[in-house]
Amino acid sequence: MKLRLKWQFFLWVCLVCASAAVAAEPAPREVLAFYYPWYGEVKNGHARHWNKVDAENHEISDSTHYPLRGAYSSQDPAVIDWQIGLAKTNGITGFIVSWWGKGTPEDSATSILLNRAAANHFKASVYWETVPGRKGGDQIHRAAEDLVYLLTNYGTNRAFLKVDGKPVIFVYGRAMGEVPVGDWEAIRSEARAKAGDFLLIADGYNEKFAAAFDGFHSYNICGDVKGKSPEQLRAWAAGYYQNVVKFARQHRRISTVTVIPGYDDTKIRKPGLKADRLDGQTYRTLWEEAIRSNPDWVLITSWNEWHEGSEIEPSLEDGDKYVRMTGEMAARFRPESAARN
């Protein structure tokens, strides 16, 4: 009897170890950029999210910088193909697309982008920006319905970012704050029952998130970056990136670090916030420390958040400097991909 119990215990330990080994296996490396699909077509000098557009004088009222292509529409497949081609050529493996709910303009644009991504062998995920409903049972159900919609309409697309066959969805800090931490498991359970398994990546590094989320990220590190010299920035990034990667690995979750070229929302917010680009030194320094920290994924804030001046998409002011730098750094982070190219 004792021998049989010892043997059963041994088998149980082996199963636990095998499970832990699988959980600890790193996710394939990705370089993902946050992407905004909310820009409208210019009509009579105005457009959704651009607001007032003066193409002749290269001025957009709600954009910190001026896009090299001018004020474009996020619904234009030709624009999306150009963006995907430029991103892909410069080492970005996918976009994390801002999503504001079923039936919104961003929803429509996400559908177009995913189809273009599939045609161009590119990846895309969604950034779940806000959760509908009041706290409690109604919110749990409506949040689960959002997930079911995303998974059944977009998660089955071959372009959708997946790990071990499971679609990956990022959750923005606003949405994280709208839902009590204890309700996330109920939301996931209801969504899984209707749409199958999936992965959620939380905005924030918090012990409380570990049980209900499959990875962690931070959207905006501007508050920590602003006002630092390159030397100070390097010291901060080295410690911060190593700590967040360690945190994720300790919990056997997907590890990510975020890099930004700079940030400046002072044109649309008062007093606003600004982290200087330092002629590219900010972006390069953050990338170098991101690579040293060895995360699963590097996230870029952002591809085209023109309101907040965090874009790497080519601008009149900086040309294609930041996409080219991305290509250089991404090749160092994913050398196997550079070798194939």
**Cα 46 from Cα 252, distance rounded (Å):** 48
- Please state, as a whole number, how many other Cβ atoms lie within 10 Å of the Cβ of residue 214: 23
The answer on pLDDT for 15 being more than 70 is no
pLDDT of residue 338: 56
What homologous superfamily does CATH list for 31-340? Glycosidases (3.20.20.80)
Over its C-alpha atoms, the chain yields an Rg (Å, rounded) of 21
Mean pLDDT, rounded, for 77-103: 98
Q: What is the pLDDT, as a whole number, of residue 341?
A: 45
| Antiparallel, parallel or unpaired: β 215-217 and 46-47 | unpaired
Tens of pLDDT, residues 128-155: 999 999 899 999 999 999 999 999 999 9
3-class secondary-structure state, position 17:
helix
Q: What integer is the mean pLDDT of 293-320?
A: 98
pLDDT digits (tens, 9 = 90+) for 273-287: 999 999 999 999 999
Percent of the chain with pLDDT over 90: 90
Alpha-carbon distance of 36 to 99, in angstroms, equals: 8
Q: What is the pLDDT of residue 7?
A: 43
Residues 116-142: b if buried by 16+ CB within 10 A, e if exposed: bbeeeebbbbbbbbebebeeeeebbee
d(CA 125, CA 170): 7
Contact criterion met (CB below 8 Å) for 192 and 198: yes
Q: What pLDDT is attached to residue 13?
A: 36
Three-state secondary structure call for residue 279? helix
* Residue 26 pLDDT grade (very low, low, confident, very high; cuts 50, 70, 90): confident
Q: What is the pLDDT of residue 269?
A: 97
pLDDT for the residue 336:
79
Q: How high does pLDDT run on average in the chain?
A: 92
Question: What is residue 43's DSSP assignment?
Answer: B
The DSSP bridge partners found for residue 215 are 201, 254
Q: Does position 178 have pLDDT exceeding 50, yes or no? A: yes
Instruction: Give alpha helix (H) positions in the chain.
Output: 2-24, 77-89, 105-119, 137-153, 173-178, 184-195, 222-225, 230-250, 281-293, 321-333, 335-340
Provide the pLDDT for residue 134.
87
Handedness of CA 116, 122, 127, 132 (dihedral sign): positive
Question: For 47-79, what is each residue's pLDDT tens digit?
Answer: 999 999 999 999 999 999 999 999 999 999 999
Is the pLDDT assigned to residue 40 strictly greater than 80?
A: yes
How is residue 221 annotated by DSSP? -
What pLDDT is attached to residue 126?
Answer: 98
Secondary structure (3-state) at 169: strand
Total-model pTM: 0.92
Tokens representing 16 are: 């636990």
Residue 24 in this model has a pLDDT that exceeds 90: no
Q: Is the pLDDT of residue 4 over 80?
A: no
Sorted by sequence, the CB contacts under 8 Å of residue 131 that are 6+ apart come out as 139, 142, 143, 146, 175, 178, 179
Cβ atoms of residues 191 and 148 within 8 Å? yes
Paired strand residues for 256:
297
Tell me 256's DSSP state: E
